[in-house]
């Protein structure tokens, strides 16, 4: 389980990016961090990944404090960040050097088949489309079988059709070993498609405003009534998070949630 306790981040110039973040993500769960720009979503991911240091609180993964980059944590960024001098297959197998050759080859081959790129194993990253490159990046992260996968808006630069296809590829790969997943997104439909729970963030400073479960069975149909209802609930929570605190409290007291 991932546990974040009283996490804070203040920069050297005094900017308070995060304040008293408390959240937990269960083992094998997919959780989404969602909110407007500047609410600290990516900062939280960077702290969990060990790419930055908190100024307060702690991050715990399966009972172990995370204080820097950790081999059990994998990250997929907005850009694929593939190594241009390696083939598609070698990019996927980049973190598997310690495994026996046969096991390494089996994992790479299985991942290539699952993302629909088996015929592209020997090609260079520059020969792939943006969506194909991101498939490789996701496969590279999951093929190491991490305990925790962090996703920083990995589909934001893709068209809607490619994004939907990659949602399916991600869930298919996740089904193998079901790592804990935390995804940062601006896309409400994406959060409902992928996540078991969504944490809605409020800005200035960044903090958790609300936590909403998504209980729809997978695979989720975007045209279903249940899907539309969950999208609406999440949009309402985001609208509330953008209000000044006193306005939100007044609306709650009056029973006006829209």
Q: Is the pLDDT of residue 206 over 60?
A: yes
pLDDT of residue 146: 95
pLDDT of residue 243: 85
Mean pLDDT of 94-113: 94
Mean pLDDT of 201-216: 94
Q: How confident is the model at residue 253 (pLDDT cuts 50, 70, 90)?
A: low
Share of the chain above pLDDT 70, in %: 95
DSSP-assigned states of every residue in the chain: -EEEEEEEEE-TTS-EEEEEEEEEE-TT-EEEEE--TTSSHHHHHHHHHTSS--SEEEEEETTEE--S--TTEEEE-SS----TTS-HHHHHTGGGTTS-HHHHHHHHHHHHHHTT-GGGTTS-GGGS-HHHHHHHHHHHHHTT--SEEEEESTTTTS-HHHHHHHHHHHHHHHHHH--EEEEEES-HHHHHHH-SEEEEEETTTBEEEEEEE--PPSSPPTTSHHHHHHHHHHHHHHHHHHS-HHHHHHHHHHT---
Q: Is the pLDDT of residue 89 over 70?
A: yes
Q: Is the pLDDT of residue 258 over 60?
A: no
Residue range 106-162, pLDDT digits in tens:
999 999 998 999 999 999 999 999 999 999 999 999 999 999 999 999 888 888 888
Q: How confident is the model at residue 2 (pLDDT cuts 50, 70, 90)?
A: very high
What domains, with CATH codes, occur in the chain? 2-254 (3.40.50.300)
Look up the pTM and report it.
Answer: 0.90
pLDDT of residue 139: 94
User: Average per-residue pLDDT in the chain?
Assistant: 91
pLDDT of residue 191: 96
Q: How confident is the model at residue 254 (pLDDT cuts 50, 70, 90)?
A: low
pLDDT of residue 257: 40
Residue range 159-187, pLDDT digits in tens:
888 888 899 989 988 988 899 999 999 89
Q: Is the pLDDT of residue 18 over 80?
A: yes
């Amino acid at each position: 389980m991932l546990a974040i306790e009283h996490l804070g981040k203040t920069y050297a110039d005094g900017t308070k990016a995060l304040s008293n973040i408390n959240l937990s993500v269960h083992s094998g769960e997919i959780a989404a961090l969602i909110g407007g720009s500047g609410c600290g979503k990516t900062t939280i991911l960077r702290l969990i990944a060990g790419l930055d240091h908190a100024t307060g609180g702690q991050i715990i993964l399966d009972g172990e404090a995370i204080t820097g980059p950790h081999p059990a944590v994998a990250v997929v960024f907005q850009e694929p960040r593939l190594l241009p001098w390696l083939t598609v297959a070698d990019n996927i197998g980049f973190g598997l050097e310690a495994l026996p050759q046969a096991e390494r080859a089996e994992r790479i081959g299985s991942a290539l088949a699952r993302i629909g790129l088996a015929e592209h194993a020997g090609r260079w990253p520059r020969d792939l489309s943006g969506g194909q490159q991101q498939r490789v990046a996701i496969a590279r992260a999951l093929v190491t079988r991490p305990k925790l996968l962090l996703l920083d808006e990995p589909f934001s630069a893709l068209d809607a059709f490619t994004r939907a296809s990659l949602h399916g590829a991600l869930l298919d790969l996740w089904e193998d070993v079901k790592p804990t997943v935390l995804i940062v997104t601006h896309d409400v439909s994406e959060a409902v498609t992928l996540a078991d729970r969504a944490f809605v963030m409020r800005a200035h400073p960044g903090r958790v405003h609300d936590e909403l479960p998504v209980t729809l069975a997978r695979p989720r149909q975007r045209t279903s009534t249940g899907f539309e209802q969950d999208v609406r609930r999440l949009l309402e929570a985001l609208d509330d998070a953008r209000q000044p605190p006193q306005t939100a409290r007044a609306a709650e007291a009056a029973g006006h949630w829209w």
